Amino acid sequence: MEKIEALEQLRKASSDNYHHRQTYEWKMCITIWTPIVAFIGISLTHPEAWIPRLTLIIACLFLAVIHLLWQLNLKASNDKDADKILECEQEMRKQLGLSESEAPKGFLVFKGWPHYIYLFITIGLIILAIYVNDLKRNQIVMLPNELNEWIEKNPEIGFKKKNEYVVDILRKHVGLYEKQQKDIDENNKTQKQ
């Protein structure tokens, strides 16, 4: 009986370690996901905000590597404790003279699956962050501030009226650009002569 009690204490210690680890493993996931989601949110709400692609990729890879190492170590520790739990239970059944067919069913065949899900979520968020950043960086037209302010101040105006105003402002800005380009071309001609 002393051997069974010792096995039960070992099983309980491994089980406690396993469950204690679960209380903080998701907190690390939230810690990793928060800056990525914050960046995505800022990118979507502030079109002028974007980060050079290389910088973003390096930052995301840094977070991904930290998360990968964290999850792999957690998985190894969880698998080790799960194996000890199973080993102790098998030994206790053997000591009690129970056969393997009387062992409890339902043990996961694919241990550690939550760790892979956490990593896939991280990878998905990183891909989304890079996509949103590139989408904002490659945006063809950035609306002038006065246009954004006018749209925000006049939410009650209909879609057609807003479109007319947007087109007029953009024509004005394009016209100014064309005039500036024309002045630059004229200056270049006079300097060559």
Residue closest to 67 by CA, chosen among 27, 37, 40: 27
pLDDT exceeds cutoff 60 at 5: yes
Q: Which residue has the tokens 């590597």?
A: 65
pLDDT exceeds cutoff 70 at 109: no
pLDDT exceeds cutoff 60 at 142: no
- Report the pLDDT averaged over residues 175-190: 73
Query: Cα–Cα distance between 49 and 136 in angstroms, integer?
Result: 8
Q: Other C-beta atoms within 10 Å of 72: how many?
A: 13
Q: Do the Cβ atoms of 96 and 62 come closer than 8 Å? A: no
- Report the pLDDT averaged over residues 74-98: 83
pLDDT exceeds cutoff 60 at 89: yes
- Report the pLDDT averaged over residues 148-168: 73
To 5 degrees, how large is the angle CA 144–CA 145–CA 147? 70
Question: What average pLDDT does the structure give for the chain?
Answer: 78
